[in-house]
Amino acid sequence: MEKIIDKINEPNDLKSLTYPQLDALAAELREEVLSVVAKNGGHLSSNLGVVELTIALCRSLDLPKDKLIWDVGHQSYVYKMLTGRREELRRLRREGGACGFCAPWESEYDFTVSGHSSASLSTAIGAVMANEITGEKGRVCAVIGDGALTGGLAIEAIDHMGHLDRPVLIVLNDNEMSITKNVGGISRMLSKARSGMGYRRFKDKVEAELKKLPGVYSATRFVKEHIKYAITTAGAMFESLGVTYLGPVNGHNIRSMEEMFKRALTMHEPVLVHVVTQKGRGYTYAEKAPEKYHGVGPFDLNTGVKENLEKTYSAVFGETMCALAAEEPKLAVITPSMTLGSGLSGFARKYKNRFFDVGIAEGHAVTFGAGLAAGGAIPVISVYSSFLQRAYDNVIHDLAIGNLHAVLAIDRAGLIPGDGATHQGVFDVAFLSAIPNVAVLAPSCLDELRKMLVYAVKEHKGPIAVRYPRGGEERSFDNGDFVLGRAKVVRSGMDLTIAAYGSMVSRAMDCAEALEAKGIAAEVIDLRSVKPIDTATVVKSISKTGKLVFMEEVVRCGGIGEQLVANLKLRSRNVKVKLISLPDAFIPHATMSELEADYGFTTRSLLRSMEDIL
Ligand SMILES: Cc1ncc(C[n+]2csc(CCOP(=O)(O)OP(=O)(O)O)c2C)c(N)n1
């Protein structure tokens, strides 16, 4: 039987459907989101929550002339299906399939790249002003979640929007959740607005009554605003910044949302419509535990059961933090809204007073950590590699110049499957190793991570980063005690030196074993400490072998390989060197095996890369 969705080729096709047909379409869209995510993994709960919202927006706007900007973009699967990308979505997160976030190269319906939180409002007001400058027509709408609204960038944009006072529609998609339960004052304010049922009707009534009053004051914004404050503080923050607040409205009632959007789009000012949605809606398992199905790997649709994950670096990080907190009363852990993914749920429960979920606010997380450190606590700032990019100056200005003792626990370092260019953890080594005072460590196995965290918390003085990959270990190494700036020869050989750090040490061992079968004895060095780097151990090895292969799963520009080679050249060593790293390019979404094949990180392609120096 033909489905309604089969007839939708572009968003304007939705405009001729009746409300019962739209409800049926919503059910079809949910079913398709579920089957795609169960197969490929991805962001489930957020997409299930915005089905009706997406339909209502596509009907209210004139796309693609109007611009619809999704914050983070992780909730754009339904939008992708309604904007001609249903087929691509079936290969979501795989090479050649749809990107899991917004991607302008994929469709004219995606205005800018997304993936990192809290950027939509700045982009939206930029788009409005660009229209004014270029003479283009079209309205601009941004959809931002209550979680993303905790990011400072979003608040800066609202501040600026109020100042510019141009028409822009902000849809606040409030489901009370970031990945886990949302936190902070903004979240509290929104919850007051949600519970103030009838607020909108009350506000409308008061405004209507005001208009009836005689005298000049009745129509002024001043009086209206002050009476609104007297009624409730809900929305007051937005209104005081110059953004009109409408809502809350039920985010699963298409007709009600359309009425509200219509009204907002006729107002010649920045307007925020507060839409209340349920994360995970329509899939019982996700409704009950939306955080567990926020970002998932493939799972069984009928049972909700996910892949049994091996022991991960994140889990070991969380366990080690618990163990260290028991011994060290000054230790405190900070997360910018990534409790679950960073393995910190246990710590959050056990050490409530020393655990800080600061919202999606990486910059603040680092500077808050600097404040803790300056005050005598020992902060561990847990952050994903790509999100730390948001806090670069905070690391330099607030931590490094003052040489404060704080630990950056950098998860998801290296190549990341599925998420694409915005989430690859491939820049941190380059940008951190450029900062004076900052030490950078990379464990080659889970036990190394434990040792490095203990060293970083208990012994080191100054800012120190420990970077580790997604997932679990490939091999384990018995490297003995950790000493800063001291590498470890994990395999001896006379013919070739392979130096690596982090997860690449396992690959180096795979290569060494394969070479042994060909009669070549490779020495493998685990650098352990990426900065300071133990050049002496590398030099000692290459004076024996005469050949160096250096492997790292980060961008070549500014990587350790380049630094090491420059260093060796300065020492005028006559040595054959091969650097294996990632190119000066953004790495798109693909599965891990696709990425490894494409970028030459399978054992076979690593060996092929070494051929010319062997
Ligand atoms: C800068 C940055 N930090 C962290 C994340 C990880 N992240 C992805 S979605 C999300 C929660 C977003 O919550 P919200 O905006 O309320 O959207 P919802 O998923 O609840 O619809 C987080 C923390 C990110 N994408 N970008």
Which of 484, 462, 565, 461 is closest to 532 using CA atoms? 484
Shared-domain flag, residues 284 and 407: no
Residues 319 and 259 in one domain: no
Identify which of 334, 425, 432 has the alpha carbon closest to the alpha carbon of residue 377. 334
Per-residue pLDDT tens digits for 27-64: 999 999 999 999 999 999 999 999 999 999 999 999 99
Do 448 and 420 share a structural domain? Answer: yes
* pLDDT confidence bin for 374, thresholds 50/70/90: very high
Check if 117 has its Cβ closer than 6 Å to any atom of ligand 1: yes
Largest Cα–Cα separation, the chain: 98
Ligand 1: centre distance to CA 23 (Å): 27
Q: Which CATH number fits the domain that encloses residue 387?
A: 3.40.50.970
Structure confidence at residue 226 as a pLDDT band (50, 70, 90): very low
* Interval 116-153: pLDDT, tens: 999 999 999 999 999 999 999 999 999 999 999 999 99
Query: Are the C-beta atoms of 580 and 600 separated by less than 8 Å?
Result: yes
CA of 253 to the centre of ligand 1 (A): 24
Q: Which of 430, 435, 425, 449 is nearest to 397 (CA)?
A: 435
Other Cβ atoms closer than 10 A to 168: 26
Closest C-alpha to 22, from 250, 253, 276, 249? 253
H or E segment and range at residue 574: none
Nearest ligand 1 atom to the CA of 74 is 9
Q: What whole-number distance in Å separates Cα of residue 51 and Cα of residue 77?
A: 9
Cα separation, 533 vs 564, in Å, equals 8
The pLDDT value given to residue 543:
92
**Cα dihedral across residues 512, 516, 522, 525: positive or negative:** positive
Instruction: Name the active-site residue from 59, 203, 390, 578.
Output: 390
pLDDT at 237: 87
Establish if 127 belongs to a structural domain: yes
Residues 165 and 256 in one domain: yes
Is residue 362 annotated as part of the catalytic site, yes or no? yes
Is the domain of 322 the same as that of 274? no
Is residue 479 included in any domain, yes or no?
A: no
Residue whose entry in the numeric block shows the structure tokens 């028409």? 167
Q: Are residues 267 and 135 in the same domain?
A: yes
Give every CB contact of residue 349 below 8 A, 6+ residues apart in sequence: none
Q: Residue 69 C-alpha to ligand 1 middle, in angstroms? A: 15
pLDDT tens-digit readout, 455-490: 999 999 999 999 999 999 999 999 999 999 999 999
Name residues whose C-beta falls within 8 Å of residue 296's C-beta, 6 or more positions apart in sequence: 37, 41, 42, 43, 44, 306
Q: In terms of domains, do 24 and 148 share one?
A: yes
Is the beta carbon of 364 within 6 A of some atom in ligand 1?
no
459, 494: one domain? no
State the sign of the Cα–Cα–Cα–Cα dihedral 602, 603, 606, 607. negative
Q: Is residue 218 part of a domain?
A: no
Q: What is the CATH number of the domain that holds 554?
A: 3.40.50.920
Q: How confident is the model at residue 169 (pLDDT cuts 50, 70, 90)?
A: very high
Distances (CA, A) of 324 to 317, 351, 456: 10, 11, 11
Residues 302-329, mean pLDDT to the nearest whole number: 93
The yes-or-no answer on residue 176 being catalytic is no
Quick check: is 206 in a domain?
Answer: no
Distance CA 289, CA 285 (A): 6
Residue 303 has pLDDT above 60, yes or no: yes
Of the residues 434, 467, 500, the one at which a domain ends:
467
Which residue carries 């994903």 as its tokens? 384
Task: Tell me what the mean pLDDT of segment 309-313 comes to.
Answer: 87
Residue 95 among the catalytic residues:
no
Residue 401: strand, helix, or coil: coil
Q: Retrieve residue 583's tokens.
A: 């190119």
Domain of residue 260: give its range.
11-196+232-293
The predicted model gives 355-372 an average pLDDT of: 98
Q: Is the CB of 293 under 6 A from ligand 1?
A: no
Q: What is the CA radius of gyration of the chain?
A: 27
Q: Are residues 242 and 365 in the same domain?
A: no
| Mean pLDDT across the chain | 93
**Which residue's CA is minimally distant from atom 19 of ligand 1?**
46
Give the separation between CA 531 and CA 486, rounded to whole angstroms: 10
Single out the residue in 467, 501, 532 at which a domain terminates.
Answer: 467
Structure token pair of residue 614 = 């062997």
Domain membership of residue 475 (yes or no) is: no
Cβ proximity of 499 and 534 under 8 Å: no
Q: How many domains are there within the chain?
A: 3
233 CB contacts (<8 Å, ≥6 apart)?
A: 189, 192
Residue 405 lies in a domain: yes
CA distance between the termini of the chain: 62
DSSP string of 165-206, one letter each residue:
---EEEEEEE-SBSSSB--SHHHHHHHHHHHSTTHHHHHHHH
Task: Check 32, 239, 291, 362 and give the catalytic one.
Answer: 362
Do 365 and 288 share a structural domain?
A: no
Ligand 1: which of 337, 344, 419 to mutate, most ligand atoms within 8 Å of CB?
337
Residues 55 and 103 in one domain: yes
Q: Could you tell me the distance, in angstroms and rounded to a whole number, from the CA of residue 383 to the centre of ligand 1?
A: 13
CA separation, residue 382 to residues 187, 203, 360 (Å): 22, 43, 12
| Same domain? 29 vs 153 | yes
Unique residue bearing structure tokens 């250096």: 550
